[in-house]
């Protein structure tokens, strides 16, 4: 069976659980406690030299890291990835946006505040991340004003990717009150078949 090495409250790990569950692909969950640096042990580094979770083991010894690469792998030839070439590129565009312009601000703030639980220690860095995180939310709001989903008219891995940390952005100190299109999209994602929450 496919093995998912994960830290359960990580949005990057949740992305994979959500897609695999929606695709009805069974998998085994193996917790790697990043707070105890379990992703930096020699044993784990032999599986993923970049020392990060999530990590997927497709078959014994066959590993795939990077949450969005895993989403890509499993979504091919399914309804979670478009068939049109330009729409495919737009899905990729939003996934790279997520890793570069969204995750480093919104996910990292949540990590320091709600996972590590030391907002005071990271006060200055958290303040620096606020405008950049809100800028990313502004770009998302702009897209969602005219489109129900990020890949266009259909729910794709771009939505799963961006949903993971956006729907828990408040845990990183971001207020979604003034982003009505994002809030409506969050509800649309939650209504998708086989949806599971990040705490499941």
Of 13-21, 86-94, 146-154, 176-184: span binding its own copies (CB under 8 A): 86-94
Query: Does residue 86 touch its own copies according to CB under 8 A?
Result: yes
Of 24-32, 116-124, 138-146, 167-175: span binding its own copies (CB under 8 A): 138-146
Query: Does residue 195 touch its own copies according to CB under 8 A?
Result: no
Long-range contact list for 92-101, CB < 8 A, 24+ apart? 94/143, 94/150, 94/151, 94/158, 94/161, 94/162, 95/68, 95/71, 95/157, 95/158, 95/161, 97/136, 97/139, 98/68, 98/161, 98/162, 98/165, 99/68, 101/132, 101/135, 101/136, 101/139
Q: Which regions of 32-186 does DSSP assign to beta strands (E)?
A: 55-59, 62-65
Residues recorded for the chain: 200
| 10, 22, 108, 143: residue in contact with its own copies (rule CB under 8 A) | 143
| 58, 116, 184, 196: residue in contact with its own copies (rule CB under 8 A) | 58
- Nearer to its own copies by Cβ, of 101 and 197: the residue is 101
Residues in contact with its own copies, counted by CB under 8 A, come to a total of 34
Positions in 2-31 near its own copies (CB under 8 A): none
Of 2-10, 83-91, 108-116, 180-188: span binding its own copies (CB under 8 A): 83-91
State the virtual CA torsion across 51, 59, 28, 4 in degrees, nearest 10: 20
**Residue-by-residue DSSP string for 74-119:** HHTTSTTS-SSHHHHHHHHHHHHHIIIIIIIIIIHHHIIIIIS--T
For the window 60-79, what string marks contact with its own copies as x by the rule CB under 8 A?
A: --x-xxxxxxx-xx--x---
- Nearer to its own copies by Cβ, of 128 and 197: the residue is 128
- Nearer to its own copies by Cβ, of 40 and 190: the residue is 40
Question: What tokens appear for 159 in the block?
Answer: 């939505």
Binding site for its own copies (CB under 8 A): 49-50, 52, 58, 62, 64-70, 72-73, 76, 85-86, 88-90, 92-93, 95-97, 99-101, 103-104, 138-139, 142-143
């Amino acid at each position: 069976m496919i093995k998912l090495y994960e830290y359960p409250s990580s949005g990057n790990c949740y992305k994979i659980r959500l897609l695999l569950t929606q695709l009805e692909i069974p998998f085994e969950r193996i917790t790697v406690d990043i707070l105890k640096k379990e992703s930096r042990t020699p044993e784990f580094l032999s599986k993923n030299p970049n020392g990060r979770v999530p990590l997927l083991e497709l078959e014994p010894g066959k590993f795939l890291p990077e949450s969005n690469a895993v989403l890509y792998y499993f979504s091919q030839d399914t309804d979670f990835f478009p068939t049109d070439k330009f729409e495919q590129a737009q899905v990729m565009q939003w996934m790279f946006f997520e890793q570069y312009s969204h995750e480093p601000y919104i996910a990292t703030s949540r990590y320091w505040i709600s996972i590590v639980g030391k907002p005071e220690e990271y006060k200055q860095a958290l303040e620096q991340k606020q405008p950049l995180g809100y800028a990313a939310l502004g770009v998302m709001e702009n897209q969602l004003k005219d489109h129900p989903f990020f890949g266009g008219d259909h729910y794709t891995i771009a939505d799963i990717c961006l949903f993971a940390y956006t729907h828990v952005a408040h845990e990183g100190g971001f207020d979604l009150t003034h982003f009505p299109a994002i809030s409506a999209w969050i509800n649309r994602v939650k209504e998708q078949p086989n949806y599971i929450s990040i705490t499941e």
